[in-house]
Structure 1
Amino acid sequence: MKKLKWILLILLAALGVGVILNYPKLNIISGYSAKNMSSSVFVAERSFDVIDSIDNGFAPVNIAADEIDLNGKSASASVYGFKKRTAVYREGLGSVLINDDFDPEKPYLKPRRSHENASLSYPYGDAEQQDTLFGNLDYTKLRTAVSNAFGTSNPNQQTRAVVVVYKDQIVAEQYASGFSKNTRILGWSMTKSIVSTLYGILQHQNRIDVQDPAPVDAWKNDERAGISLHNLLQMNSGLEWEEDYTKISDVTRMLFLEENMASVQERKKAKYEPNTHWNYSSGTTNLLSGILRKQFSSHQEYLDFAYSALLDKIGMHSSLIETDMAGNYVGSSYGWATPRDWAKFGLLYLHKGNWNGMQLFSPEWVDYVVQPTPTSEERYGAQFWLNAGGYLPDVPKSIYYADGYQGQRVFIIPSHDMVVVRMGLDTESYDFNGFLKEILAAVGKE
């Protein structure tokens, strides 16, 4: 009995130490679980049980217990009863983690949306496309390549959607069980590329110059005064930032604890001279979202702009960018759309900013976003990822792409007049080089 008592005491002591060491993380864990549950149920219209067991089923998020309020459109999560967090859904703005000061009865503005041209055939609308057979495509190879992307039973490395568009035509498309062409999927950091595009549109409209100093009042009289919008877009401002999702870091504090996500990077000190050190920073993109907000005379104009100037303009009618509690678009992480609509975003770049005769941004903007950031080893441009350095060795170096957590990708492939979208749920690395190599092997000479 004495031996058993000692064993129990040791186990209790170990548990106590574990709780003490990990207690600060519980806010992040329950915050992630509640936010992801609320968005997945109310934005993507997926089931609580699937989200609870699969999407929120990886460690350490799986220690959180989720609850859903379908009538109140909210989700809550806690860890062993500690650190309960709640996320609420607001129409037009998506889901947001709230704090004790949040007033659910307070009126809020939401974006005004347009579904103009929705009746046109894909990609310029949402109607079914006029199918064309391309003699230089090996459709058997193409179908096999796409099918292979779904060839794992590992729930933590699942492909959920693949869309291949060649010469403006969907030539291959496949979805996992529970997903369809109408399912919104979170793009995570692919949203950064949307923020970049909004700057490209403003530049094209002669409303900003990305080479100008960033209009941040707090920086005007210190060493940060020389940071330009260009530096922020390329993520080489020299500002301090830690992007680590495995612990309490700048990025996890921002996404799951901050009311105003646009202000976090703004408060950081300069660590290096601008243009000397590339450092991936979600805080930088949210700062850009906050700076974007200052370009408009009203909050309504800011909310409308992303849709009226870009997303609805190119028929991404399923798209939704969620906001933080302060009303800023969370441009770092929270953009949703169907895979087909994500493909439209890629096509806009494939066509150098021209959408069915409308020039949304200049062709030179494409050259700008694919210009490698110094010290990024030719892997990063202006909120887009690059293959200029041959990171994907078996596909063209001209490929560039929007890249999001858990394997979300929109690949723009100018050499093949192609856009490839892959959406998934990965906690391990996915072989994108092999995936693209197989797809491109199906394209023969014209």
Structure 2
Amino acid sequence: MKSLICLIFFLFIGCKNSSDITEPVNNPQAPNESIYFPPNNSDTWETKDLNTLGWHSSAVQPLYDYLQLKNTVSFMVLYNGRIVLEKYFGTQTAASPWYWASAGKTLTSTVVGIAQQNNLVNLNEKVSAYVGTGWTSETLAQENLIKVNHLLTMTSGLDDSLGDDVSPSNLKYKADAGTRWAYHNVFEKLQDVVASSSKQTWINYFNANLRDKIGMTGTWIPNGNDNIYWSTARSMSRFGLLFLNNGNWNGTQIINKDFVTAATNTSQNINLAYGYLWWLNGKASYHLPQTQVQIPGTLIPSAPNDMFCALGKNDQKIYVVPSKKLVIIRMGNSADGTNFALSDFDDSLWQKINAVIKP
């Protein structure tokens, strides 16, 4: 019971009180309205009537029914920054935090980009220059091949079959860095790179340079070998909105546009559907975690080709669609009883979303 109380306490560190959560403000505007950003010091948020967008209100309830059937707790759709749909299931509310799982990898890659623009990190520098040698079990020559960029792109060459432990004894050579794509928890070493180069804790640097600048709430919670980010769905939406607007938050460039472009486009020639810890739709082929099989076709066929997304265990989702000015959030338990970040659920969900948004 004591550990449960401590966990609940930590989950609400950095989160606003529920009294700060206000109902969205309905403010319909012309179709060519500028992108909207909610204020940093409040969760008051403008909404957009879906009827003014030509969307189909009759398809909303079937979408909600499907989401509820598939163990969803939070679902949001932003159009150009304004809330069009927002639905909570069970005991979840706008003030309730939930875990991002691997969708939070994109938070890590973004902060690495911020550290780069602050001249603290060089993506082409070897990781050992920041964390010291001996952080793997490889030979020094093999280890020195691994650059920051390889951790951002999942091409470290380390053996991905050994589990999530990132202690040196568990980080073993499989291939030269840059020659093999494999989904691996070693990306978390990027947080050590930022901490070392900034001479701050990872959490302090993250909070000051990303979280607080866009009005997010939430905190990192240790979970075994991982640090897992917890926040409300609205905070997750803020992060998606930052990327929808090319790293600019209400006139302030939080992360430079060139990094956003690199992060949300193919980062290497092995897995075309992977950027800097972001998944990419509309590519000719893709690889899934824990496999070296190249699968022909696009990642989520029913979704727009220009969509990029953050995907986490048990179907945590951030979908960003620049061509449609959309940010879509799904939080919850596993849709189909498995813990995969990507599954047939994504395509089925997009079919339901399309029934709402397509004329």
What range describes the TM-score normalised by the shorter chain of this pair? 0.7 to 0.9
In structure 2, the gaps of 5 or more residues are 26-36, 284-297
In structure 1, the gaps of 5 or more residues are 1-67, 76-86, 96-110, 243-248, 255-262
Does 2:300 align with 1:392? yes
Q: Secondary structure at the match of 1:312?
A: helix
Contact kept in structure 2, 1:162 and 1:174, CA below 8 Å: yes
Alignment of 1:263-412 (within 5 A): 263-264=166-167, 268-282=171-185, 284-299=186-201, 302-317=202-217, 319-323=218-222, 332-374=226-268, 376-389=270-283, 390-412=298-320
Contact kept in structure 2, 1:276 and 1:374, CA below 8 Å: no
Distance 2:109 2:273 in 1: 16
Tell me the TM-score normalized by structure 1: 0.64
Say which structure, 1 or 2, has more relative contact order (CA 8 Å, 6+ apart): 2
Distance 1:266 1:288 in 2: 18
Per the alignment, do residues 141 and 395 of structure 1 end up closer, same or farther by CA in structure 2, a change over 3 Å counting? Answer: farther
Contact kept in structure 2, 1:399 and 1:413, CA below 8 Å: yes
Q: Which amino acid aligns with 1:379?
A: A
Q: Secondary structure at the match of 2:71?
A: strand
- Aligned counterpart, 1:185: 98
- Aligned counterpart, 1:52: none
Distance 1:379 1:357 in 2: 30
Per the alignment, do residues 298 and 353 of structure 1 end up closer, same or farther by CA in structure 2, a change over 3 Å counting? Answer: closer
Q: Which amino acid aligns with 1:340?
A: R
Distance 2:62 2:251 in 1: 33
Q: Secondary structure at the match of 2:331?
A: strand
* 1:419 positional shift: 0.4
Q: Which amino acid aligns with 1:129?
A: W
Distance 2:16 2:73 in 1: 28
Does 2:35 align with 1:133? no
Q: Secondary structure at the match of 2:67?
A: coil
- Aligned counterpart, 2:64: 147
Q: Secondary structure at the match of 1:164?
A: strand
1:325-358 CA distances to partner (integer Å, 9 max, x unpaired)? 9xxxx7x551001111111110010011100111
1:51-105 CA distances to partner (integer Å, 9 max, x unpaired)? xxxxxxxxxxxxxxxxx22xxxx14xxxxxxxxxxx954965x69xxxxxxxxxx
Q: Which amino acid aligns with 1:158?
A: N
Contact kept in structure 2, 1:124 and 1:356, CA below 8 Å: no
Per the alignment, do residues 132 and 194 of structure 1 end up closer, same or farther by CA in structure 2, a change over 3 Å counting? Answer: same
Tell me the TM-score normalized by structure 2: 0.78
Question: Number of residues paired by the alignment?
Answer: 316
Contact kept in structure 2, 1:235 and 1:280, CA below 8 Å: yes
Contact kept in structure 1, 2:103 and 2:310, CA below 8 Å: yes
Per the alignment, do residues 195 and 335 of structure 1 end up closer, same or farther by CA in structure 2, a change over 3 Å counting? Answer: same
Q: Which among 157, 167, 175 is matched to residue 238 of structure 1?
A: 157
- Name which one, 1 or 2, has greater alpha-carbon Rg: 1
Distance 2:169 2:266 in 1: 24
Q: Which among 141, 146, 156 is matched to residue 222 of structure 1?
A: 141
Distance 1:228 1:314 in 2: 29
Distance 1:298 1:398 in 2: 36
1:372-423 CA distances to partner (integer Å, 9 max, x unpaired)? 2446542322111111321211222211111111010011111100000011
* 1:443 positional shift: 3.3
What value does the CA root-mean-square deviation take over the aligned residues?
A: 3.0
Distance 1:149 1:307 in 2: 35
Distance 2:321 2:168 in 1: 33
- Aligned counterpart, 1:417: 325
Q: Percent of aligned pairs with the same residue? A: 22
1:137-169 CA distances to partner (integer Å, 9 max, x unpaired)? 3240452353143352xxxx4111110000111
Q: Which amino acid aligns with 1:183?
A: S
**Structure 1 residue ranges (4+ consecutive) displaced by more than 3 angstroms after TM superposition:** 87-92, 111-115, 118-122, 130-134, 373-377, 440-445
